[in-house]
Amino acid sequence: MLKINRYVKEIYNSTAFPGILIFLILIVINAIIQPGFFTYYSFKLNLFSFTPLILVSISQALVMLVGALDLSIGAAVSLLTVFMASVMGDSPLSIALALILALGAAWAMSLFNGFFISYLKLPPFLVTYASSAIWFGIALYIMPTPGGYIPRSFYKFYRSDFLGVIPIPVLILLGIGIIYFILSRLKIYKHIYAVGGKEEAAWASGIKIHATRIKAFLWSGFFVALAAICLVSETATGDARCGLGYTLNSVAAAVIGGVSFSGGKGSLAGAAVGGVILGLLINILYFANVTSFYQTFMKGIIVIGALVVGSITRMKEQTTS
């Protein structure tokens, strides 16, 4: 009995608690308003729209953990879909090439941001705001209107079921879980928290600050590439604007998940849950028949609400500790 009590207390006090609570409430609301929420079909439908959001949330969390912020995530996702849709053809070779290009480009963008933020010590929000405009410009230059070509075989695969029952996104998320499990046991993971928490202390204990930050950015870039691959498989087009919404959503999701703006606090798992929460919230807008004129407004309110709830929890934490 005492043991259970302790667990309950532990959960209540954790940074993820408000997230978990909201998550459960949202499941109930969604179950009420979305017809057949618990059916296999709805599950799969939701999965498709949540997967890229979960991935960018993890990506944003990685950057935030080292005390930075990436406002170029949305534009990066867009640019990658544009790259892939312009390179892909029907041959397996061209598909492989497109995927490699996506990862390479994502890493190049991470290195670009990382160079200006870590080595030149420029404020992350300004660097990534500027690079966001550059990525968006390049994407728009290549594809002024949505288009390109994504082979049928490619997106059919994404929408298919492994062994006839397990949707591919589930496999991807499972893979992410495994990567997370491995990553959390690597030295770099501890270093990321150390650098984000107290940079001087991390430096004093011999951690290479720049290298750690750059590695965090590269991991973040890996998740951005994955998000873009999932998104392009879902939409089957390259679109310079398709990812723009992810910039703010990823920040909001990370914050709901307990990741703090000052770095060093929160977890990738929390951010992933934050992504699902945000997805469920946005779902409500669609299934509650909110008129399209109200959608931009309501989505904005949801994001601000998430930021406010996140910051209030953070303050509560600071006063108790």
Partner 1 sequence: MAFSGWRRILVNRLTIIILLVFLLFLLGEIIFPGFMTLSHIMSILRLSVFLGIVALGQTLVVLSGNEGIDISVGSVVSLGVVVSAYILGGQNFKIPQALVLVPLIGFAIGLANGVGVSYLSIPPLVMTFAMGNVIEGLSLILTKGFPTGQAPPLLEVIGSGRLFGLIPYLVLLWILFSGIAVVMLRKTKWGNVLYGVGTNSLAAELSGVMVKRFRMYVYAMCGATSALAGLLLLSYTGTPYLNLGAPYIMPSIVAVAIGGTSLAGGKGGYAGTAIGCIALTTLNSILVAIQATEAIRQIVYGSLLLALITVSERRES
In whole angstroms, the minimum distance from the beta carbon of 244 to partner 1 comes to 10
> How far is CA 39 from each of CA 36, 44, 242, rounded to the nearest angstrom?
5, 9, 28
Tokens read off for 151: 């082979």
If one asks whether residue 278 binds partner 1 (CB under 8 A), the answer comes out as no
In whole angstroms, the minimum distance from the beta carbon of 8 to partner 1 comes to 29
Contact call for residues 83 and 238 (beta carbons, < 8 A): yes
Asked whether the CA dihedral 122, 268, 233, 244 is positive or negative, the reply is negative
Residues 62 to 101 in contact with partner 1, rule: CB under 8 A: 69, 71
CA-closest candidate to residue 306, choices 60, 129, 33: 60
Q: Which is nearer to partner 1, 192 or 251 (CB)?
A: 251
Q: Among the candidate windows 37-45, 82-90, 161-169, 244-252, which touches partner 1 by CB under 8 A? A: 244-252
Q: Among the candidate windows 41-49, 159-167, 231-239, 312-320, which touches partner 1 by CB under 8 A? A: 312-320
If one asks whether residue 133 binds partner 1 (CB under 8 A), the answer comes out as yes
If one asks whether residue 293 binds partner 1 (CB under 8 A), the answer comes out as yes
**Residue from 251, 253, 259, 278 binding partner 1 (CB under 8 A):** 251
**Residue from 89, 92, 104, 137 binding partner 1 (CB under 8 A):** 137
Tokens read off for 52: 């890229």
In whole angstroms, the minimum distance from the beta carbon of 178 to partner 1 comes to 31
What burial letters (b/e) apply to 207-236, b meaning 16+ CB within 10 Å?
bebeebbbbbbbbbbbbbbbbbbbbbbbbb
**What gap in Å lies between CA 234 and CA 58, rounded to an integer?**
19
If one asks whether residue 311 binds partner 1 (CB under 8 A), the answer comes out as yes
Residue 57's contacts (CB-CB under 8 Å, 6 or more residues apart) are 249, 250, 253, 254, 257, 271, 272, 274, 275, 278
If one asks whether residue 294 binds partner 1 (CB under 8 A), the answer comes out as yes
In whole angstroms, the minimum distance from the beta carbon of 134 to partner 1 comes to 4
**Residue from 176, 248, 259, 277 binding partner 1 (CB under 8 A):** 248
Q: Phi/psi at 162 (nearest 5 deg)?
A: -75, 130
Q: Among the candidate windows 1-9, 18-26, 208-216, 305-313, which touches partner 1 by CB under 8 A? A: 305-313
CA-closest candidate to residue 314, choices 7, 16, 26: 16
Contacts with partner 1, residue ranges (CB under 8 A) = 69, 71, 116, 120-123, 125-127, 129-134, 136-141, 144, 247-248, 251-252, 261, 293-301, 303-304, 307-308, 311-312, 314-315
